[in-house]
Structure formats: structure tokens, C-alpha cells
Structure 1
Amino acid sequence: MMAMEKNADIHLKHKNLMELIKVFIFIVTSFILIVIPVFLPLGFCPDSLSYYTTINFSVSQYNFLSFEPFYWLIVYINQILFNANWTSFLLFFSVTYVILSVYLIKRYSILPVISFIIFMLLFYPNFGLIQIRNGVSIAFVWWALFDLLESKKLKFIIKIIIATFFHYSSIVFLLVLLLDKNHINKKFYLLLPLIGFLLGQYVFTIEFYQFIINYLPSFLKFKAQGYLDFVIYGPQEHKLNRINILNMYSLFNIMVYYLGLMIGSNDRYFITLEKILAFAIFSFFSFKTIPVFSFRISNDFYTFIVFLIPYILKNFKKEEKSLVYYSLVLILILLSLNIYIRHDLFNFSLL
């Protein structure tokens, strides 16, 4: 009996030690991710130059079509508190995005380490370094979704509004309210990517978008018109007009999606995350006539694979898990090389 109690005590101490090590790694890595933007040169991406030109704007110069209300609020607060310092401006977005994302991963992911690796390798470069407004917005969208799954509908709506005030595109996530979170029609969702491709190929043409844009609210119309004009008048050889539809990244997400459909779990978290991935793939194909719009909208939805993939991994047999984990890490490294080494978010052509 004493030996059993001693072994149990050793096991508990080892478990606690491993948990402390995980927390330490999370904290150190998060700190590194937070400070990276500070050391990047101005002009690292075109967005940074756009932001830099605004940090000294007076209130009368604020353009709420170009940037959202909370962006201008940060510009104003940064002027008052830090004399429009560029570093403090970057840190506000970086701290908010990384800390909130890591908190949500730790709280809601069933495999936080795996989720954190996916977050760091696939989504941090885009949302943490380039589309920093959208990064903070997506973190609030994540938070909102889990409120909705916990039947806190008002909190969901409030957080989506906050997200929209950081990036107007997040308003589309209000559509999640319409999803049946307890059941999935496998026949319909099996065909949804194909439906998206056919719509993108034959229905959602340039003429269709020119017609639809006229009915959008002004804060959405401004951006949409810019995307459309770039397709019509911009250089066709530009990478933003040449997204490779069947690339390594999209094929990876399609593989994850159909593996999820094969599982057939009744967990409402899993069902909702699977449906969000379905609409990511659908939007990527259906909006392909305007490549940069296709990428940006679908990538917002794709971010939820951070929470979906752990559900899928849990369903593999014990003897299969090692191979599956190694394969996942290898694919993530290949995809991240495209981002970190080739600096190409749009055309994953390693395949």
C-alpha cells in the first residue's frame, strides 16, 4: 500500500512538473511572438507603411472607410499616452492578439500544445505581423464563438461587434448564429466545396460582383470596390491576382475537412468547427474570381482549424497516433516554410 501511494505521489509530481514546463514554454514563446513586430523593419509589408503614415493623424483626418473605429481609437490613445510612438502602437496589437489567442487556446483546446503549434506556424505570421487589425479582430471572433457554444448569445453578439470595429470583415461571423450546432447533414457538406467551385466558376463573375457591390453598406463597399478594381485594372501577373486554387494549403484544409466528416462526432463544438471549415473552403472556391478577397475571407474561417484538428487527432487509434502526429508536424513545417522563408501567404506552391 505504501509503495502504491509513493508511486502515485511521484506520478502526481511528474504530472505537475510537466504542466509547469508547458506553461513556461507557452509564456516564453508568447513573449517572443509579442516582441517580434518591434524588431521588423518599417516596410516589412505594405500594411505597415499604411499604418505608419496614420499614427500622427489628427482626429479630423480619420477616415472610417479606410480603417475601423477601434483602429483610430488606438491611434488616438497612442498619441495621448506615448506621443504617437511606433513601437507602442505595434505592441498594443501584438500583445492583444497573442495573449488573447493563447488564453483561448489554453482554455478551449482539447490539445493546447497542438493548437498552439498550428497557431504559431500557420496564422501568427499573417495576423500577428501583417494584418494586425484583423488579428485582434479574429481573436475576439474566437472568443465570441465559444460564448455562443456556451449559449451566451448576447456575449457572442457583443464580441462580434467589437471584432467588427477592429476589422469590418468580421461582421460575416454573425451568420454563425444561423448554424445548427447539434447536427450536420453529411450529404450536403460533402458536396459543399464542389458547389463553391461551380459557383465561383460559372456564377460569381466580375459582372456579378459589380452588381452586388452597389447594395453593400458603405463601410463594406469601399473595400470590396478596391478588391474588384485591382482585379479589373491591376496587373494580372501580380501575386494578389494569381492565387493558386489547388495549392498545398487548400489541399491540407480539404483533407482536414473530409477527415472531420468521416468522424461523425455528436459534440456540438466539433460540429460547429467542422461547419466553419466547410464555409472556409466554400468561400475560397466561390470567391476565386477576386483572389485576394477569396484568400482573406477564407483564411478568417480557416483559423478555426486551431481548435478543430485536436478533435480529429483524438479519434485516431493509439497505435496510429504517432504516425499521424509526425505527419501533421511535417505538413505544418512545410506550410510554414512557405510563409517564413518564401514570404508568400497567397500562393502555396511547394506541392
Structure 2
Amino acid sequence: MFINQVLACRRGNCYGGWEVNRYAVPLPFSLRINKKTLVLFTVALLLIFIAGFRPIGLDRDSPNYVSLLNIPFSQANFLDKEPAFWMLVEINRVLFSSNERTFFLIFAIIGVSLKILAINRLSSMPFLSLWAYICLYFALHEMTQIRAGVASGIFLLAIQDIVNRNLKKFIIKVLFASLFHYSAIVMLPLYFLNLRKISIIYFFLPVIGLFLAYFGLSKILLLNFTDFLPEFLSYKLRIYLSLLELGEHKEINIFNFFYSSLLILLYFIFSLYYYAKNKIKFNNYDIFYIKVLSLLLFTFYFFSPVPVLAFRISEFLGVVLIILIPHIALMFKQKDIIKALIFLYLSGGLIRTAKLLNFEVIL
């Protein structure tokens, strides 16, 4: 052992007489921290700081949240907001005198940490996945839809339970996610997806949704669907439909660039799956992500008459893009070129999500 340490020191791979991994950061007591962990941890701290200490009004939802911070748990409206939200409001009220900064910091710590942990567990391209998270979801989830941000982080962590068929752990995560946002109930059917192959229905699902939306059939179906939903879901759906009738919601452009690009991406992946299956191996995780991409496109088109619902469900499911899009680079020999193209595509997403923020409050 001592000889190995000496040889390692001669190669420059030692610190204080101890051999270390060449990718590790040298620290006392031989504490090894690899490059991936260090980067993820550092960026997580930065993102938590940005989200937790952002000015009120930078995002559209923070003023509304501030107005709820003094409401005691006994007066909570559980149809409007979820139990976990009111529980954190109560904790913040009791421990921190309803301080708005600690409230947003608590949500930032939970939301960012869950996403970073999921990236560390699921992604074979962690740095590109980190960039995908920053570009596509950080401003949306950790600075605007903070309840959905926590729920979607739990959803990402539940993917391992789906693939490994661990129903008990999965149900627990569904329950926890639903306590933060009721829309997380859409996780439940995903456990029953067949991860051995991709059937032809997933090829046609987005087209079916697009057809129903374009010809106005999805609105008719939604109006007849509310009575069959649980009360907390039918309540929100009725509100959304009422606002739509009053002209409070603008119609969605179902051919917008982002979702159209996802549609192209889906059929590109389908072409690889069906015509290059012998050269490219798709594991259970890949099949899960592809099926969820098909489902999120269908839900976006189908629920487009109710914009809030269309975006909320599709964006919740779309959190898998953080893992899926970077993994496309692994399907090609020219990985560096593909990674560069993916980086540029994701950077366009950063411009899109930045529009959610009102930068005038910091100017």
C-alpha cells in the first residue's frame, strides 16, 4: 500500500501522502469529491441563492404567494392550494414570523435540491442535463410555479421506482408530489407503461391530440369530462373553462416553436428507434422518456382549449426532457457535434423562459 502511495505521488496524484483520483479535488483527510459532485453542488447553491433571494415581482406568482403568508393553517383553502404548501406557510409563520424571504428560500432549497439529485442519479450527461434544467425549467419551476417545481422534482426521482417496479416507493412519491401540486396525480398511470418496447400508438398520440385540438373536438370532450374527475380537479377545470368563456384566457398557438420542435424531436427519435434499432440500444429508461414525450405532446394539444391546464400538465411531464435531450448525444459517434447542437437548442429555451420574468423590478 505504501509503495502504491509513493508511486502515485511520483505521478503527481497524491495529497499529503495519500493517493487520490485524478478527477478529484484534493482535500485534507483524503476526502474525495469528484468533479461532477463539485459542479452540481456549486451550481445548486448558486441557483438556490438566485431563486431564494429574488426580488418580489420578478416572477408573476411571488406577489400572490406573499399575500398568503399570514394565513393560519386553520383558514387554509385546500381547493386553491395544496396541503404541503399550507404546511410550509404555517412553518414559516411560526418559526420566521411569515418572512417572505425564508418562505421562498425554503421552496428554493427543496425544488433545486430534488432536481439536482435527480440529475445526479439519472443522467449519463450530467453537465448537459444541468444546462437543460437551467434553460428549460429553473425560471419556470423554481422562480414561478414553485409548488409544481417541487412536485416535478419528486416525479424525476420516482422514475427509478417505475423502471425498477417498486410500487410502494412509487406510491409514496406520488402522494408526496400531490401534496405539493394536485397535477402530480398524472404520475400514477405512468407506472403501468410497458418499458420493453414502444408500440405504434405512441407514434400517433400527438397527431390525434393535434387533430382534436385543431377541429375543436377536445373542448367538447373536456366539457363532458369534468363530472368524472375528483372534486379538487373538477373544481379547477370548471374555473379554467369559465375563465375561457369570459375571455380571460388567450387561445394557445398549438403550432408554437417549442412544442413543434419537440414534435420534430419525437419523430426523429422514433426514426432512430424503428430504423436504427440494431445500431442504437434503447434501455428501459430511454423507452420511458420517449413515451412520456409522446404523452406530454398529446396532453398539450388535447388540453389546449384550457391553456393553464395544457401548459401545467405538459410542463410537468416535460421535466423528463432534462434527461432525454442530453442523452440523444449518446446515440451518435460524433458526440461533440451533437452536444454543441443540443447546447444551442437549449440556450434558445433559456430565452423562452427568461420572458417569464419581469426584469424591470431590478433595473
Q: Are 1:284 and 1:294, in contact at CA under 8 Å, matched by a contact in 2? A: yes
Q: How does 1:239-258 map to 2 (within 5 A)?
A: 240-258=249-267
Query: What is the CA-CA distance between 1:344 and the residue it aligns to?
Result: 7.4
In 1, Cα distance between the equivalents of 2:316 and 2:168? Answer: 22
Q: How does 1:100-115 map to 2 (within 5 A)?
A: 100-115=114-129
Of 76, 90, 95 in structure 2, the residue corresponding to residue 81 of structure 1 is 95
Query: What is the CA-CA distance between 1:189 and the residue it aligns to?
Result: 2.2
Residue in 1 that maps onto 2:202: 189
Query: What is the CA-CA distance between 1:16 and the residue it aligns to?
Result: 3.3
Calculate percent identity across the aligned residue pairs: 30
Q: Are 1:94 and 1:128, in contact at CA under 8 Å, matched by a contact in 2? A: yes
Of 316, 325, 333 in structure 1, the residue corresponding to residue 332 of structure 2 is 316
Q: Are 1:228 and 1:290, in contact at CA under 8 Å, matched by a contact in 2? A: yes
Residue in 2 that maps onto 1:138: 152
- Residues 205 and 269 (structure 1 numbering): CA distance in 2 closer, same or farther, change over 3 Å? closer
- Residues 41 and 13 (structure 1 numbering): CA distance in 2 closer, same or farther, change over 3 Å? closer
- Residues 157 and 43 (structure 1 numbering): CA distance in 2 closer, same or farther, change over 3 Å? same
Of 329, 336, 344 in structure 2, the residue corresponding to residue 330 of structure 1 is 344
Aligned length: 334
Aligned AA (2:156):
W
Structure with larger Rg: 2
Greater shift, 197-206 or 223-232, is seen at 197-206
Q: Are 1:33 and 1:98, in contact at CA under 8 Å, matched by a contact in 2? A: yes
In 2, Cα distance between the equivalents of 1:244 and 1:205? Answer: 15
In 1, Cα distance between the equivalents of 2:73 and 2:336? Answer: 56
Aligned Cα RMSD in Å?
2.5
List structure 1 segments (4+ residues) > 4 angstroms apart after TM superposition. Answer: 5-13
Of 263, 286, 289 in structure 2, the residue corresponding to residue 273 of structure 1 is 289
Residue in 1 that maps onto 2:50: 36
Query: Is residue 164 from structure 1 mapped to residue 175 from structure 2 by the alignment?
Result: no
Q: How does 1:163-242 map to 2 (within 5 A)?
A: 163-185=177-199, 187-202=200-215, 204-235=217-248, 240-242=249-251
Query: What is the CA-CA distance between 1:128 and the residue it aligns to?
Result: 0.5
Aligned AA (2:86):
W
Q: 1:191-224: CA deviations, max 9, x gaps?
A: 2211111122346443432221123221112211
Residue in 2 that maps onto 1:349: none
Aligned AA (2:55):
P
Give ranges in structure 2 of 5+ residues lacking alignment. Answer: 14-19, 27-32, 274-280, 359-363
In 2, Cα distance between the equivalents of 1:81 and 1:245? Answer: 45
Q: 1:260-304: CA deviations, max 9, x gaps?
A: 223334411111111011101111112222222211111111110
Q: TM-score, normalised by structure 2?
A: 0.85
Aligned AA (2:210):
F
Of 15, 22, 41 in structure 1, the residue corresponding to residue 23 of structure 2 is 15
Q: Are 1:259 and 1:312, in contact at CA under 8 Å, matched by a contact in 2? A: no
In 1, Cα distance between the equivalents of 2:307 and 2:222? Answer: 13
Q: Are 1:182 and 1:266, in contact at CA under 8 Å, matched by a contact in 2? A: no
Q: 1:200-252: CA deviations, max 9, x gaps?
A: 234644343222112322111221122212211034xxxx5233222221123
In 1, Cα distance between the equivalents of 2:301 and 2:222? Answer: 15
- Residues 256 and 60 (structure 1 numbering): CA distance in 2 closer, same or farther, change over 3 Å? same
Residue in 1 that maps onto 2:302: 286
- Residue 260 of structure 2 aligns to a residue in which SS? helix
Q: Are 2:202 and 2:295, in contact at CA under 8 Å, matched by a contact in 1? A: no
Q: Whose helix proportion is higher, 1 or 2?
A: 1
Give ranges in structure 1 of 5+ residues lacking alignment. Answer: 346-351
Q: How does 1:52-91 map to 2 (within 5 A)?
A: 52-91=66-105
Query: Is residue 262 from structure 1 mapped to residue 266 from structure 2 by the alignment?
Result: no
In 1, Cα distance between the equivalents of 2:220 and 2:251? Answer: 19
In 2, Cα distance between the equivalents of 1:295 and 1:344? Answer: 17
Aligned AA (2:236):
K
- Residue 350 of structure 2 aligns to a residue in which SS? helix
